[in-house]
Structure 1
Amino acid sequence: MKYDATMVMLPREKLLAFGPQALSDVELLALFLRTGRPGVHVLRFARQMLDHFGSLRALLSADLAAFEHIDGVGVATFAQLNAVGEMSRRYYAAQIKETCLLTSPETTREFLCAELAGEQREIFIVIFLDNQHRVITWSRMFSGTLAHVEVHPREIIREALRHNAAAVILAHNHPSGKAEPSKADHFITRQIVHTCQSLDIRVLDHLVIGHGECVSFAERGWI
């Protein structure tokens, strides 16, 4: 096997040498935790936590009750983990307002994935943009159940006109984790596109967010 120096480096050393992107999920969590528990090294403890929750996304969006049976994790650690998730959402919310979404679609995806991570019901978000495709504002316009959200195109139009928006980006999540759009998703998208066209407002995309995946209507050629 080829020797790799990063395999024997501690997370902090590895981060300083190669940047945070070089760390695995286990190493990132271990760096955050700093210590393990009696008889359990921090890297092993981090691995056990990720195995228990299934992913960083699930861990960061879990409620306090989910940590009750994990030795070594108290209210303080839970609060810190919640703060990390919220800081991530606020970071992307700030970044999206500073970016031209036409030239940086990955920023949109990152923002929406962070914003909708852990939601247990469908949330429909609309991002309103000016004629240079810069973000004016964004809104969680509709919320629904585990498998459905009722969307009203006229309300989207009303908000777009109120903000003098020239374009919009639509997005909603699938709490089931599967991002593939449903027939209902296609139907409401066509309705919104048709309604917006009558007032010369462009629908740039509709993004469906799952667990670790995202489907873009624009990329699929559906818009």
Structure 2
Amino acid sequence: MDYTVKELPESERPREKLEERGVSALSDVELLSIIIRTGIQGKNVKELSGEILDEVSLDGLADRSLDELKDFDGISRVKAGQLLAAGELGRRMKRTEKERIESFSDVESQVEDMKFLESERARVFYLNSGNEIVAEKEFDGSVSSVDLEMREIFEEGLRSNASALILAHNHPSGKADATEEDLEFTKELINLGEKLDIGILDHTVVGDDITSLRKSSALWK
């Protein structure tokens, strides 16, 4: 038997609260409960939502895989897909605000969540001439663990008319030191970027700390 929000007292039902007080009055748990809709034996939907948010931030939903979300109690493949879609919608809406990256601290705030990823991923931020983020793309794996194609990186840059990009990838080991493969890949990226008139502003390595290759290497000198 599934435990729906109707099992809760009326004052605690997220949908009723939304109708009476507006969506801004809902907590993160209540918003997630509306998406998940039902609980499981012994746990109502708000309890399930709370357990998910204890481990995954709202911003991090879109970074989880379908299988990772399915590992949570009561989350079917369909519900996992709904959560991923909601997370991605939030990310895209955030992008319409045209966030700027003007310093390394701005980069750090954009990749902080990558410290907690259990698998290697690469993330690319595409910027216009005003340093506003106009697009973002994520790849499974890092520059040394998968075939991260230069073509794929620059295709999005050309499509979004970006004037520059920033690449970030994580090391699940926690070590934020650049490998020889990281440095070689970055060198090739800079060279191709010059030919395509897309500047490479930085390549950051995310471990327990976050390392800027622009600061720590001689590749831009």
| Same fold (TM > 0.5) | yes
TM-score range normalised by the length of the shorter chain = 0.5 to 0.7
> Does 1:159 find its partner at 2:156?
yes
CA 178–131 in structure 1, closer or farther in 2 if over 3 Å, else same = same
Alpha-carbon RMSD = 2.7
User: Residues 143 and 150 of structure 1 are in contact (CA less than 8 Å); yes or no, is this contact kept in structure 2?
Assistant: no
CA 96–186 in structure 1, closer or farther in 2 if over 3 Å, else same = farther
> Does 1:100 find its partner at 2:100?
yes
CA 96–150 in structure 1, closer or farther in 2 if over 3 Å, else same = farther
User: Residues 123 and 172 of structure 1 are in contact (CA less than 8 Å); yes or no, is this contact kept in structure 2?
Assistant: yes
> Does 1:139 find its partner at 2:137?
yes
Structure 2: state its 5+ residue gaps.
Answer: 1-46, 62-86
Counterpart-to-counterpart distance in 1, 2:151 and 2:59: 33
Counterpart-to-counterpart distance in 1, 2:96 and 2:120: 22
- Determine what percentage of the aligned residue pairs are the same residue: 26
- 3-state SS, counterpart of residue 222 of structure 1: coil
- 3-state SS, counterpart of residue 190 of structure 2: helix
- Length, aligned pairs only: 144
User: Deviations for 1:11-68, whole angstroms, at most 9, x for unmatched residues?
Assistant: xxxxxxxxxxxxxxxxxxxxxxxxxxxxxxxxxxxxxxxxxxxxxxxxxxxxxxxxxx
CA drift of 1:173 comes to 0.3
Structure 1: state its 5+ residue gaps.
Answer: 1-73
CA 214–192 in structure 1, closer or farther in 2 if over 3 Å, else same = same
Q: What residue identity is the alignment partner of 1:191?
A: E
CA drift of 1:188 comes to 0.6
CA 168–76 in structure 1, closer or farther in 2 if over 3 Å, else same = closer
TM score, norm. by length of structure 1: 0.57
CA 95–166 in structure 1, closer or farther in 2 if over 3 Å, else same = closer
Alignment partner, residue 186 of structure 2: 189
> Does 1:80 find its partner at 2:53?
yes
Counterpart-to-counterpart distance in 2, 1:88 and 1:77: 15
- Indicate which of 198, 201, 207 corresponds to 2:198: 201
